[in-house]
């Protein structure tokens, strides 16, 4: 296994988590281990199951790395969290649950996302949500990682059911904001909305300027080759190229929608939704012992 690029954002006190960010280069995905330093309990957030869109082979280098890190640093895994059913990678939640017995969680509006995708795949009985996800969070729900208070925010726009986790002074903002020099995430997937995404971003930026923001993706920029995934509310408000400096909602929606029209469909998307609406579990094996996916032709 190639060395996984990671960085550590240290705790700022008892009510502030240490955050280990680690990067999946094939999809530009940013993954996290969120640690309560007092109790040594932790959660993993948006961990990737690798998928090769050419061979349709899967892999688990990143979830294995996360579990090894947790073991080596004497941590106790308490939650397996995702922010939404991702379109560009397979989630690793089901594999992590099988290895650890730890509960998985996502936002409750994944039920509505499943309804959309049943129609696209012409699978009216597919993707029953309750059997696959242990906990479905509503907007405003709270829970704990060790002694740390966690608040769930509904953050629609990228998808209709995306959620943000606020853990002390750490905001896991998933596919809403990107790094300030990269802007914001796309809002043109089924159920997405640039107007809703703007409102979700503004709610995130209402937090104190010193709060850390951890994003869901980074692809570098023409001026920055290396991946990055941490900023602050203050940096985003001042410098984000799409919303910084007081950009209006109308102006943002115009720019976001124009840019989204130029973007191609992620090459893993039509495979990923069938897996991620099952918490990262592949379709049940058929009589030959293999799993199969269904692909709509000329639907997109």
pLDDT in tens, 44-89: 999 999 999 999 999 999 999 999 999 999 999 999 999 999 999 9
Q: How far apart are CA 155 and CA 141, in angstroms?
A: 13
pLDDT(3) > 90: no
E strands, the chain, are: 6-9, 18-24, 29-35, 41-45, 48-51, 58-59, 76-81, 90-91, 104-107, 135-137, 142-145, 148-154, 163-167, 170-174, 212-215, 230-232
Asked whether the beta carbons of 179 and 215 are under 8 A apart, the reply is yes
pLDDT in tens, 243-293: 999 999 999 999 999 999 999 999 999 999 999 999 999 999 999 999 999
Q: How far apart are CA 143 and CA 147, in angstroms?
A: 10
Percentage of the chain exceeding pLDDT 90: 96
- pLDDT at residue 105 in the model: 98
Which fold does the domain 7-269 belong to in CATH? Answer: Metallo-beta-lactamase; Chain A (3.60.15)
- pLDDT at residue 127 in the model: 95
In the predicted model, what is the mean pLDDT of the chain? 96
pLDDT in tens, 184-206: 999 999 999 999 999 999 999 99
Which are the contacts of 115, defined by CB distance < 8 A and separation ≥ 6?
Answer: none
Q: How far apart are CA 204 and CA 10, in angstroms?
A: 21
CA 273 from centre of chain: 13
pTM score over 0.85: yes
- pLDDT at residue 2 in the model: 65
Domain limits, the chain? 7-269
Using DSSP bridges, classify how beta strands 90-91 and 48-51 pair: parallel, antiparallel or unpaired: antiparallel
Query: Which residue has 């799409």 as its token pair?
Result: 242
- The DSSP code for 31 is E
Q: How far apart are CA 177 and CA 183, in angstroms?
A: 6
pLDDT (average), residues 165-169 = 98
């Amino acid at each position: 296994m190639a060395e996984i690029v990671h960085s550590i954002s240290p705790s700022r006190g008892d009510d502030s988590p240490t955050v280990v960010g680690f990067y999946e280069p094939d999809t530009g995905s940013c993954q996290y281990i969120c640690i309560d330093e007092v109790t040594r309990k932790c959660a993993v957030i948006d961990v990737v199951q690798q998928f090769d869109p050419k061979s349709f082979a899967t892999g688990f280098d990143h979830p294995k790395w996360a579990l090894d890190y947790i073991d080596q640093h004497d941590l106790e895994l308490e939650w397996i969290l995702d922010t939404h059913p991702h379109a560009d990678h397979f989630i690793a939640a089901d594999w992590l649950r099988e290895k650890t017995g730890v509960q998985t969680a996502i936002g409750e509006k994944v039920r509505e996302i499943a309804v959309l995708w049943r129609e696209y795949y012409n699978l009216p009985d597919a993707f029953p949500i309750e059997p696959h996800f242990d906990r479905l969070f509503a907007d405003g729900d709270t829970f704990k990682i060790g002694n740390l208070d966690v608040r769930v925010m509904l953050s629609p726009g990228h998808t209709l059911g995306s959620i943000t986790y606020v853990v002390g002074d750490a905001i896991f903002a998933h596919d809403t904001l990107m790094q300030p020099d990269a802007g914001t995430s796309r809002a043109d997937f089924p159920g997405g909305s640039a107007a809703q995404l703007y409102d979700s971003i503004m709610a995130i930026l209402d937090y104190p300027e010193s709060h850390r923001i951890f994003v869901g993706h980074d692809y570098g920029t023409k001026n920055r080759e290396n991946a990055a995934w941490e900023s602050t509310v203050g940096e985003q408000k001042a410098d984000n190229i799409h919303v910084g400096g007081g950009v209006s909602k109308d102006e943002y929606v115009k720019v976001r929608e124009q840019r989204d029209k130029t973007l191609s469909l992620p090459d893993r998307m039509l495979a990923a939704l069938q897996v991620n609406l099952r918490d990262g579990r592949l379709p049940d094996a058929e009589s030959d012992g293999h799993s199969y996916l269904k692909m709509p032709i000329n639907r997109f």
